[in-house]
Each structure stands twice: as C-alpha cells, then as structure tokens.
C-alpha cells in the first residue's frame, strides 16, 4: 500500500492488513469491514477466475464504502473520514491507515 490505495487491495490483503492493527482500532475495524463486505461479491465473480484478482475498488461501489465508513464511524465517533463518497473519502481512509500504529 506504500504507493497505492487501500481500495486497491484484494479482500484477503485487506484482512491481512487489518490484523496488523490492534483489534480495538478504527483502522482494524474499517479494513475488516471493507474486506468482509467485498467477499460475497468476490465469490460471485469467481475471485481468481483465469488469474483475475479483484480489488476492493472492483468489488465495492463508492456508496458501499461510504456506508461502511458510516458504520465504523458509529463505533468510532472521532473517525477523521468524511461521510460523502469519493476521492476525498478514499484519501482520508489511506491517511488513517498511514498514521495508525500497527501491532
């Protein structure tokens, strides 16, 4: 993720990255929720059909991501991520991951 975005991760990679954060952090909650929400869509598409891997961006709409952010914000009211879908929200998610401290 150094040069990419969280939404460019595959669901399995997002799950892995979630585990690098303490379980009680917004980073862990958000990554885990994004990955879990993407799993049904990835299964429906045959996640690695002909070597094709799908990222969160492929599997979740901006509106889906925004809904997930809203659910996580309910548990973490100080979540510094705007509720409106779009690039600003995606950048804020990436910034949160960069500033969070892993285990």
Q: What is the pLDDT of residues 19-29, one digit of tens each?
A: 999 999 999 99
- Cα–Cα dist 91/5, whole Å: 8
Place of tokens 């910034």: 95
Question: What pTM, to 2 d.p., does this model score?
Answer: 0.85
Per-residue pLDDT reduced to its tens digit, 45-97: 555 555 567 899 999 999 999 999 999 999 999 999 999 999 999 999 999 99
CB 20 within 8 A of CB 102: yes
Q: Which two tokens stand for residue 5?
A: 């975005």
The per-residue pLDDT for 53 is: 75
pLDDT at residue number 101: 54
pLDDT of residue 4: 82
Q: What is the token pair recorded at 9? A: 């991760």
């Amino acid at each position: 993720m150094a040069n990419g975005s969280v939404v460019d991760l595959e669901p399995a990679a997002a799950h892995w990255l979630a585990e690098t954060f303490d379980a009680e952090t917004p980073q862990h909650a958000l990554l885990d929720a994004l990955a879990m929400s993407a799993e049904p869509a990835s299964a429906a598409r045959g996640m690695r059909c002909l070597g094709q891997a799908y990222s969160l961006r492929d599997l979740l709409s901006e509106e889906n991501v925004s809904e997930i952010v809203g659910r996580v914000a309910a548990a973490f009211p100080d979540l510094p991520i705007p509720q409106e879908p779009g690039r600003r929200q995606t950048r804020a998610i990436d910034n949160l991951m960069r500033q969070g401290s892993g285990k």
